[in-house]
Amino acid sequence: MKVWTLALNTLESFLHNRLVLLLLLVGAGIVLIMMAPLLQVKARITVQNTSMVESMVLEAISQVMGFMSGLGSLLAAWAATDSLGSELKAGTVLAVMARPVKRWEFLLGKYLGVLLMMAGYVVMMVGVSHVLAWMGGQHIQVSPLAMFAYPLARYAIYAAIAMLCATVAGPVVSMVVVLAIAILGDMVLPSTPAWKPWLMWLKHGLYYALPSMELLSEERFLSLRQATLHPMKWQEQAVSVLYGWDYALVVLLVAMWSFHYRTLRRD
Amino acid sequence: MTAAAIEFQQVTKVYRKMFRGVEVPALTSASFAVERGEVCAFLGPNGAGKTTSISLLMGFFYADFGEIRVLGYPPGDVRAKAQIGFLPENFAFYKFLNGERLLRFHDALGGGDKRTAGARIAELLAKVKLTDYRKLKFAKYSRGMVQRVGLAQALLRDPQLLVLDEPTSGLDPTGRRDVREIISALKTEGRTIFLSSHLLSEVEQVCDRVIIISKGRVVQTGRMKDLLGDSGRVEILVTALPESLAARLTEWGGSFTGNEHGVAVVVDQAHKREVAEGVWAAGHDVVQIAPIRGSLEEFYLKTVGDESGVA
């Protein structure tokens, strides 16, 4: 109950946060701008160029969705950082923690607040994907549940990492660390160029230690042309999503441990 | 036997600056106790360790050494926190909430029943005189109004122990008087109040016990009446003062001032009988003899001044 109260308060604080609203407005604006060429290409379709136009349409849709997905990652990390950082900066944490609330409950409440917001974002993202596909004359045949679960698991990881960083560092440093982890995570994928031989152990180590967003990417199963590029059983999908939630949970537990020993004061 | 409301035993807290190896002692072997039902003033100059002590007892900081018990529990224990009302210095708030919603939020965190919260909150808002502003957004609150809401949230959930860090900060004289009255009422109800303030005249009016801290050390602790009770001088109010006695008063280091009711004589306790008998012998009357109580401000300045080597 206390955790839920904290989560709803956190969500409400985001809804009143001008920066979040600005980010969403800018995102919506960019999506609208990106839709213009999509609609233009779609309008030029003829019998002769159907195949080419379809491929251009799909490319445009893919880019819009990629942008929204990236924006979501940024939003998740920033929201998690800010949810804790702003409490410490303003000093509101002191009055809250004077209540019979355990530190882990406080952090969990903040985290759930972030996830609630991101769940709303993902619902919006799935909606936009379907609208774009419809406008492009395509149909997404993948279960909406899978389209919801994958990005949310990804955002859960980013939020947990950001929250862990925020327990020991300021918002800017936390965001830099999250971005560095995201970039490094991409650099150590097996598909990337090999590192120098004497650094390969590091690459392998980082590959397993850092969160694998490749595993949690909708691109693994999502196809706008067909139901799936690589047909996946629901068990496989469940394992992938569970991997994401498990990773997020472990990081969140470390964040709770770190926050437990943190000095609480107005920063 | 019931445990003391607050117990500090040899508590030490050192701030360490990361990467610099600098250690700043904030509290050194601090020991004191506040009994249940007492109103205790926690005094000291800026940087003396007051906020550190309060943060330690609220469980915001961890002590490096020593033991702290709050209502019989370790600091930060939810069983203790359920019985504590806390007003931090410069109470901070969620700007998107109004006074009533902030209290509802804190009430829910305290485990309050949603169905009965409305009546409790309305009562508290009336107590701090904010009923008319309960729907006003915090962003539009004045400093004094914020402090009043802060006090109201501290009073939520019927706390047994109130920890108030500068409760009258930002309040006008009327607001300060209101807070004093609230504290007095709580004292009558048997609540324990631990109060940090720089307004010594107000502290003197409501507190039973004083703890003075300076440079991280407890330099004085005791009951107010014991600490301030005896200045060694008395004030004797007489209808008139014979000239012979006036001359001798100077020799004794005494003084006198006349007013429409007579003459007020201030003299050491040792000479009070001689003054009274001299007045009676001259055919005048003694209206009142009262010991002069030292003020908390004098006592505080003397104590802290001594400690810092200033006075």
- Chain B CB contacts of A86 under 8 Å are none
**Nearest-angstrom CA–CA distance, B244 and B250:** 11
- Chain B CB contacts of A169 under 8 Å are none
Structure tokens at B151: 């006090």
Task: Tell me the nearest-neighbour CA distance from A120 into chain B, angstroms.
Answer: 20
Name the 3-class secondary structure at B205: helix
Neighbour-count burial of B3, counting CB atoms closer than 10 A to its CB (0-12 exposed, 13-18 middle, 19+ buried): middle
Of B82, B96, B105, the CB nearest to A100: B82
For residue B115, pLDDT over 90 is answered with no
Pseudo-torsion of CA B155, B158, B163, B164, nearest 10°?
Answer: 20
Structure tokens at A72: 């979501």
Strands (E), chain B: 6-17, 22-34, 39-43, 65-70, 84-87, 161-165, 192-196, 209-214, 217-223, 233-238, 255-259, 262-268, 286-291
Q: Which residues pair with B221 in a beta bridge?
A: B211
For residue A230, what pLDDT is reported? 52
Q: Which residues pair with B290 in a beta bridge?
A: B235
Mutate to test the interface with B, among A16, A99, A101 (most CBs of B within 10 A): A99
For residue B23, what pLDDT is reported? 83
For residue A68, what pLDDT is reported? 83
For residue A218, what pLDDT is reported? 65
With CA atoms as reference, the chain B residue closest to A92 would be: B92
* Interchain contact, A16 vs B109, CB within 8 Å: no
**Which tens digit of pLDDT belongs to each residue from B204-238?**
888 889 999 998 999 988 888 788 776 678 888 98
| Interface membership of A96 toward B (CB under 8 Å) | yes
CATH numbers and ranges of domains, chain B? 6-228 (3.40.50.300), 233-291 (3.30.70)
- Chain B CB contacts of A106 under 8 Å are none
Name the 3-class secondary structure at B1: coil
For residue B106, pLDDT over 60 is answered with yes
Cβ atoms of B267 and B277 within 8 Å: the answer is no
- Which 228-267 residues of chain A touch chain B by CB within 8 A? 261, 263-266
- Chain A CB contacts of B109 under 8 Å are 2, 5-6, 96, 99-101
For residue B161, pLDDT over 70 is answered with yes
Name the 3-class secondary structure at B296: helix
* Interchain contact, B58 vs A98, CB within 8 Å: yes
For residue B311, pLDDT over 60 is answered with no
Task: Tell me the nearest-neighbour CA distance from B92 into chain A, angstroms.
Answer: 5
**Which tens digit of pLDDT belongs to each residue from B51-70?**
999 999 999 999 999 999 99
* Residues B131-157, mean pLDDT to the nearest whole number: 86
**Nearest-angstrom CA–CA distance, A192 and A194:** 6
As averages over each run of 10 residues, the pLDDT of chain A (267 residues) reads: 93 88 85 79 74 74 80 91 91 92 95 95 86 75 78 92 93 91 83 77 83 68 48 75 91 95 84
- Chain A CB contacts of B85 under 8 Å are 98
Give percent of chain B above pLDDT 90. Answer: 30
For residue A112, what pLDDT is reported? 96
- B5: nearest Cα among B47, B50, B39, B52: B39
DSSP B193: E
Of A197 and B132, more confident: B132
- A162: nearest Cα among A153, A172, A152, A149: A172
For residue A231, what pLDDT is reported? 60
**CA-CA-CA-CA torsion sign (B155, B104, B111, A167):** negative
Of A12, A96, A264, the CB nearest to B96: A12
Residue positions counted in chain A: 267
For residue A226, what pLDDT is reported? 47
**Which tens digit of pLDDT belongs to each residue from B167-191?**
887 788 888 888 888 888 888 888 9
ipTM of this predicted structure:
0.84
Name the 3-class secondary structure at B302: helix
Cβ atoms of B17 and B24 within 8 Å: the answer is yes
| Interface membership of B84 toward A (CB under 8 Å) | yes
What is the three-state SS of chain A? CHHHHHHHHHHHHHHCCHHHHHHHHHHHHHHHHHHHHHHHHHHCCCCCCHHHHHHHHHHHHHHHHHHHHHHHHHHHHHHHHHHHHHHHHHCHHHHHHCCCCCHHHHHHHHHHHHHHHHHHHHHHHHHHHHHHHHHCCCCCCCCHHHHHHHHHHHHHHHHHHHHHHHHHCCHHHHHHHHHHHHHHHHHCCCCCCCCCHHHHHHHHHHHHHCCCCCCCCHHHCCCCCCCCCCCCCHHHHHHHHHHHHHHHHHHHHHHHHHHHCCCCCCC
CB half-sphere exposure, B162, CA atoms < 13 A: 33
For residue B109, what pLDDT is reported? 92
* Interchain contact, B150 vs A95, CB within 8 Å: yes
Name the 3-class secondary structure at B308: helix
The mean-pLDDT minimum among A101-105, A230-234, B18-22, B124-128 falls in A230-234
Of A5, A13, A264, the CB nearest to B60: A264
* Interchain contact, A101 vs B84, CB within 8 Å: no
Task: Tell me the nearest-neighbour CA distance from A162 into chain B, angstroms.
Answer: 22
Could you give phi then psi for residue B134, rounded to 5 degrees?
A: -65, -25
Cβ atoms of A76 and A110 within 8 Å: the answer is no
**Nearest-angstrom CA–CA distance, B143 and B90:** 9
For residue A219, what pLDDT is reported? 63
For residue A232, what pLDDT is reported? 66
Task: Tell me the nearest-neighbour CA distance from B56 into chain A, angstroms.
Answer: 10
For residue A41, what pLDDT is reported? 75
* Interchain contact, A98 vs B84, CB within 8 Å: yes
